[in-house]
């Protein structure tokens, strides 16, 4: 009997690509429900492109500066995703805002990892924001992408302590370890259909407690 088709995933990056590498590593397990078929970057110098090629994954560099508008870039990206027959898009350190039309076209099929416990600390410099706010817990969030930045329904979160003496680099490093655990787990939940988007709500399959999307590291 033919094995059921794995969910075909594209990962979009802008830089280092360590989260992308964690997804690629997880997807090597035979029973993982997704396969990573494409890694694309909006910066030709994104370091993660070489990492992906090294794993035999197709890569594309679409330099956003070469396109006359946001819509033109998004259309070029959409064409690449269509050619690769992509089912699901994972943003992993992708530092570019999409047009609303692109986001709507991928509604419920595009997820992102953000380095804070949303809805706290949207945007950039999240670790500086957390230190300035004096929170004792910080972390990362995997969420569906909606047109408003970092505002989409939450799939999974991991929390870490903020320790006395922490600076932004120390916090970033502590959280990155959890990002690399959380994102593969969240992608598996989405790709297997155990988690889905219904309207503006994330719904877990019967039998799941929601704890599957929660990690705590103290």
Contact residues: ligand GRF, CB under 6 A: 13, 15-19, 92-93, 113-115, 140, 176, 179
State which residue, 149 or 201, has the beta carbon closest to ligand GRF. 149
Helix (H) or strand (E) holding 197: strand 195-198
CB of 77 to ligand GRF, least distance (A): 18
CB of 58 to ligand GRF, least distance (A): 19
Beta-ladder partners of 35 = 8
CB of 199 to ligand GRF, least distance (A): 25
The C-alpha angle with vertex 68 and arms to 65 and 74, in degrees rounded to 5, equals 80
Is 64 annotated as catalytic? no
C-alpha span between 77 and 71 (Å, rounded): 10
| Residues 6 or more apart in contact with residue 204 via CB below 8 angstroms | 189, 194, 195, 210, 212, 213
State which residue, 75 or 95, has the beta carbon closest to ligand GRF. 95
Cβ–Cβ < 8 Å for 157, 215? yes
Q: 25: which 2 tokens?
A: 């590593």
Q: Which of 55, 114, 125, 180 is catalytic?
A: 114
C-alpha span between 166 and 148 (Å, rounded): 30
CB of 4 to ligand GRF, least distance (A): 29
State which residue, 102 or 121, has the beta carbon closest to ligand GRF. 121
State which residue, 15 or 147, has the beta carbon closest to ligand GRF. 15
Positions marked catalytic: 114
């Amino acid at each position: 009997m033919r094995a059921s088709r794995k969910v075909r995933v594209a990962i979009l990056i802008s830089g280092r690509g360590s989260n992308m590498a964690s997804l690629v590593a997880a997807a090597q397990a035979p029973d993982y429900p997704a396969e990573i078929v494409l890694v694309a970057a909006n910066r030709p110098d994104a370091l993660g492109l070489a990492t992906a090629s090294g794993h035999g994954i197709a890569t594309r560099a679409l330099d956003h500066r070469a396109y006359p508008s946001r819509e033109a870039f998004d259309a070029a990206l959409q064409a690449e995703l269509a050619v690769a027959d992509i089912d699901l898009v994972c943003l992993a350190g992708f530092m570019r805002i999409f047009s609303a039309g692109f986001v709507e076209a991928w509604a419920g099929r595009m997820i992102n990892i953000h380095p804070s416990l949303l809805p706290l600390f949207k945007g950039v410099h999240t670790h500086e924001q957390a230190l300035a706010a004096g929170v004792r817990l910080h972390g990362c969030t995997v969420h569906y992408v909606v047109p408003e930045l970092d505002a989409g329904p939450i799939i999974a979160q991991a929390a870490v302590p903020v320790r006395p003496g922490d600076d932004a680099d120390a916090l970033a490093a502590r959280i990155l370890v959890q990002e690399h655990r959380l994102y593969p787990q969240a992608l598996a939940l989405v790709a297997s259909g155990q988690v889905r988007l219904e309207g503006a709500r994330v719904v877990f399959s019967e039998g799941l407690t929601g704890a599957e999307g929660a990690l705590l590291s103290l």
